[in-house]
Amino acid sequence: MHISPVTSAVTSIFGALAVLAWRIREGRSAVTLKKVLIPPAGMATGFCMFIVPAFRIPWLWALAAFLIGAIFLAWPLLRTSRLHREGETIVMKRSSAFLIVIIVLAAVRFIARGYFNTIMSIEQTGGLFFILAFGMILRWRMSMYFEYRALTTQPQPPLKDTFPPEPTQLDGTSGAPIPRALD
């Protein structure tokens, strides 16, 4: 089973566009723990591609790809996206550079893939870049998980009272308020 370079390129472009559309849509809704953890868990099923011998790469290459993704390529994503609380919901606040970062990362991967296709099979290149992307997504989502947990475990700011304060009487000796009796 061999994949043609044209099929690989077209699939990569459609994949990048789908990820871009998904990221835009995702940024418009509240962040939940499920939305943080499911993408890397779902992506992990892609490791099944390595059952097919044509996709297999040396362990050292896999480790290098994972570390490059987790250390270098995740960094721009970490710098351009933050979680914050809006009332009772948690939302992702992205800098204006976030979409540019996504496009540049896709372009770098596309150009690098063209080079790697000349020195290894297209299937191996796909496997290598899958591991690279997994390292990038895993680190970014783990960072989001820790931010999410910090925001959900910290006390929420009190809601503003919409009712006027209840009148109290002061105790003449200590100055402490005496609760008003129920009528």
Residue 56 within a domain? yes
Q: Assess if residue 162 is contained within a domain.
A: no
| pLDDT at position 41 | 94
CA–CA gap between residue 162 and residue 159 (Å, rounded): 9
Mean pLDDT of the residues in the chain: 82
| Residue 122 domain-assigned (yes or no) | yes
> b/e string for 84-109 if b means 16 or more Cβ within 10 A?
eeeeeebbbebeeebeebbeebbeeb
The predicted structure's pLDDT at residue 166: 57
pLDDT for 36-46, tens place per residue?
999 999 999 99
- Structural domain contains residue 171: no
Instruction: Out of 8-12, 51-55, 113-117, 140-144, pick the least confident.
Output: 8-12
Question: Is the model more confident about 150 or about 163?
Answer: 150
**Model's pTM, two decimal places?**
0.70
Q: Is residue 161 part of a domain?
A: no
Digit-coded pLDDT (tens) for 68-115 = 999 998 998 898 888 988 888 898 887 778 778 878 888 887 888 778
Is residue 165, in this structure, part of any structural domain at all? no
Average the pLDDT over 28-50 and give the result. 91
The answer to whether residue 175 is domain-embedded is no
Q: How many domains does the chain have?
A: 1
Between 174 and 87, residue with greater pLDDT: 87
Q: Considering the domain boundaries, does residue 181 fall inside one?
A: no
The torsion angles phi and psi of 75, rounded to 5 degrees, stand at: -55, -50
Domain range for 40 is 30-155
**Does pLDDT of 170 surpass 60?**
no
